[in-house]
């Protein structure tokens, strides 16, 4: 990895991370602009494939930046891009967490915190919906999604059971 | 209260099983399995994580880690949540170009993705049910779902646009109690 690419990864993803309100995936269009349009590091299709791979893997979706970094700079590129995307905002979150501890119990803080709850839950539902649309390739996968949702909603068994079942049904039926 | 080792191992586990995104799994482990946070506490932490810039699951992990063990806790939770998946992703980055198009691999991934999507949806329904929101808060949540899920409004606009309404609904609920 050249020094130029190192700085491009560091500054590019660092800047993007600072505007990623709502989550790392919120800035996917900006990432596309950086990686495909500005630097021409990969094609449109490569970008989409890497995003799909990061979605399929466990862990924070934002790790897709690691795959972009890998593509242009190998393992160092992966670490640079991941760090640029996570370290600055983590420091902000930590500072905020400290501030919150000092303000604990203030009625206005309680009201703000409670007011943000429906956005958090609504966005989880929205991400489930978007994942479901992407996963619905046939009636088998659509049925799998519905059954899995009901299982997780109505029971307290570990959702790992439905993931395992999903893998097996995938092999048998798809 | 979890020890530092607990915090490290638990967030490591959340990262590694976090198919379809971390948040639904973090809730499952922290609220249902470990009972370190209540449903309400987890939802509030995640809500703050959404408003701050950066990956919201990471922001939430830092706040949870800090709550139990300060700066060390924040570091342990965030590093273990990212470490495992990062190693897996390195392996995938190497393998994917050779094996990504193998039909068996594609079939397994498609099945897991469909189940994970259902898991995330089921979690949202479960949270909504357990949090027992007021009608006004529920309406804000449904707006967030519709805006981000159906109309694909950019997330920063959804979060910053709806936050004032959420806070208003929360203030109204607190006042009428």
Of B29 and A50, more confident: B29
What sign results for the dihedral spanned by CA atoms A99, A101, A105, A109? positive
| A39: pLDDT strictly greater than 80 | yes
CA atoms of A102 and A96, how far apart (whole Å): 10
Helix extents (H) in B34-149:
39-51, 56-99, 103-131, 135-145
CA atoms of A110 and A108, how far apart (whole Å): 5
Of all residues in chain B, the percent with pLDDT exceeding 90 is: 73
Confidence band (pLDDT; 50, 70, 90) for B97? low
Distance from CA of B2 to the nearest CA of A (A): 18
Confidence band (pLDDT; 50, 70, 90) for B95? confident
Instruction: Kindly compute the dihedral angle of the four CA atoms of residues B152, B156, B162, B166, in this order, to the nearest 10 degrees.
Output: 120
Of A13 and B155, more confident: A13
CA atoms of A68 and B50, how far apart (whole Å): 24
Of B167 and A47, more confident: B167
Pair A115, B175: CB distance under 8 Å = no
pLDDT at B110: 87
A128 near B CB under 8 A: yes
CA-based nearest residue in chain A for residue B66: A97
User: Taking CB atoms and an 8 Å cutoff, what residues of chain A touch B57?
Assistant: 23, 60
Mean pLDDT of chain B: 92
Residue range B141-164: mean pLDDT, rounded: 93
A163 near B CB under 8 A: yes
Confidence band (pLDDT; 50, 70, 90) for A121? very high
Confidence band (pLDDT; 50, 70, 90) for A82? very high
Of B101 and B92, more confident: B92
Of A70 and A55, more confident: A70
| A54: pLDDT strictly greater than 90 | no
Over the Cα atoms of chain A, what is R_g?
Answer: 19
Distance from CA of B122 to the nearest CA of A (A): 4
Interface test with A, best of B111, B130, B151, B156 (most A CBs within 10 A): B111
Number of H helices, E strands in chain A: 7, 0
Interface test with B, best of A113, A122, A137 (most B CBs within 10 A): A122
Total Cβ atoms within 10 A of residue B39: 17
Partner residue opposite B114 with nearest CB, options A90, A119, A144: A144
Question: Between helices A64-102 and A44-56, what is the axis angle to 10°?
Answer: 60
pLDDT at A34: 92
Can you tell me the ipTM of this complex?
0.91
Interchain contact, A144 vs B118, CB within 8 Å = yes
pLDDT at B71: 96
pLDDT at B100: 62
pLDDT at A116: 95
B134 near A CB under 8 A: no
Confidence band (pLDDT; 50, 70, 90) for A104? confident
> Which residues, at least 6 apart from B2, have a Cβ–Cβ distance to it below 8 Å?
B10, B34, B36, B68
DSSP for A80-148, written as a single string = HHHHHHHHHHHHHHHHHHHHHHHTTT-HHHHHHHHHHHHHHHHHHHHHHHHHHHHH-SSHHHHHHHHHH
Confidence band (pLDDT; 50, 70, 90) for A57? confident
B110 near A CB under 8 A: yes
pLDDT at A26: 74
Whole-structure pTM value? 0.89
Pair B73, B67: CB distance under 8 Å = yes
């Amino acid at each position: 990895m050249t020094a130029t690419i190192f700085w491009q990864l560091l500054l590019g993803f660092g800047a993007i991370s600072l505007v990623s309100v709502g989550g790392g995936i919120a800035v996917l269009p900006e990432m596309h602009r950086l990686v495909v349009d500005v630097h021409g590091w990969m094609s449109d299709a490569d970008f989409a494939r890497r995003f799909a791979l990061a979605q399929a893997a466990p862990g924070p979706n934002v790790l897709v930046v690691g795959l972009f970094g890998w593509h242009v700079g190998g393992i160092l590129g992966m670490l640079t891009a991941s760090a640029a995307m996570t370290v600055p905002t983590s420091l902000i979150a930590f500072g905020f967490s400290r501030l919150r501890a000092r303000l604990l119990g203030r009625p206005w803080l309680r009201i703000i915190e409670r007011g943000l709850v429906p956005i958090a839950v609504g966005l989880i539902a929205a991400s489930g919906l978007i994942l479901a649309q992407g996963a619905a390739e046939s009636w088998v996968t659509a049925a799998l999604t519905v059954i899995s949702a009901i299982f997780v909603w109505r029971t307290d068994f570990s959702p790992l059971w439905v993931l395992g079942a999903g893998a097996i049904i995938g092999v048998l039926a798809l | 209260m979890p020890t530092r080792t607990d915090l490290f191992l638990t967030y490591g586990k959340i990262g590694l099983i976090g198919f379809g995104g971390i948040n639904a799994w973090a809730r499952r482990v922290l609220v249902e399995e470990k009972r370190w946070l209540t449903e309400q506490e987890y939802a509030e932490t995640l809500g703050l994580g959404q408003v701050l810039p950066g990956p919201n699951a990471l922001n939430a992990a830092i706040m949870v880690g800090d709550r139990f063990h300060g700066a060390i806790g924040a570091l342990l939770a965030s590093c273990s949540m990212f470490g495992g998946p990062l190693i897996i992703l390195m392996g995938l980055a190497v393998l994917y170009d050779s094996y990504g198009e193998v039909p068996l691999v594609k079939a397994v991934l498609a099945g897991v993705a469909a189940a994970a999507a259902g898991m995330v949806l089921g979690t949202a329904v479960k949270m909504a049910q357990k949090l027992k929101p007021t009608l006004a808060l529920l309406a804000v949540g449904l707006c967030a779902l519709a805006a981000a899920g159906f109309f694909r409004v950019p997330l920063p606009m959804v979060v910053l646009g709806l936050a004032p309404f959420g806070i208003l609904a929360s203030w109204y609920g607190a006042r009428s109690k």
